[in-house]
């Protein structure tokens, strides 16, 4: 994984379902081909938390992909965890 910075300008009322992050690899890598569902995790006290998932249709990652957009899934974590427990 990489350390990234959340772009607060992306997270306005219009885009509240998105988490945007600056892509530290954008300067030296231009041929990105991310899979749908790539996770965005945050770490707190050595524990990782799932915060978002990349959706290729929503973010085709053009022009070197300087900013990546993830769907904010915090509201769905209880449902996801319940399905994982089945």
Pick from 10-14, 52-56, 69-73 the range whose average pLDDT is largest: 69-73
Interatomic CA distance for residues 66 and 53, integer angstroms: 17
Task: Please state the rounded mean pLDDT for residues 32-54.
Answer: 78
- Is the pLDDT reported for residue 54 higher than 70? yes
Band of pLDDT at residue 53, cut at 50, 70 and 90: confident
| SS3 call for 40 | strand
């Amino acid at each position: 994984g990489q350390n990234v910075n959340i772009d607060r300008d992306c997270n306005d009322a219009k885009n509240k379902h998105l988490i945007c992050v600056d892509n530290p690899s954008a300067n030296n890598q231009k041929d990105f081909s991310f899979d749908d569902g790539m996770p965005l995790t945050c770490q707190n006290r050595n524990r990782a938390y799932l915060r978002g998932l990349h959706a290729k249709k929503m973010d085709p990652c053009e022009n070197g992909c300087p900013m990546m957009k993830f769907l904010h899934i915090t509201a769905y974590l209880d449902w996801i965890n319940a399905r994982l427990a089945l």
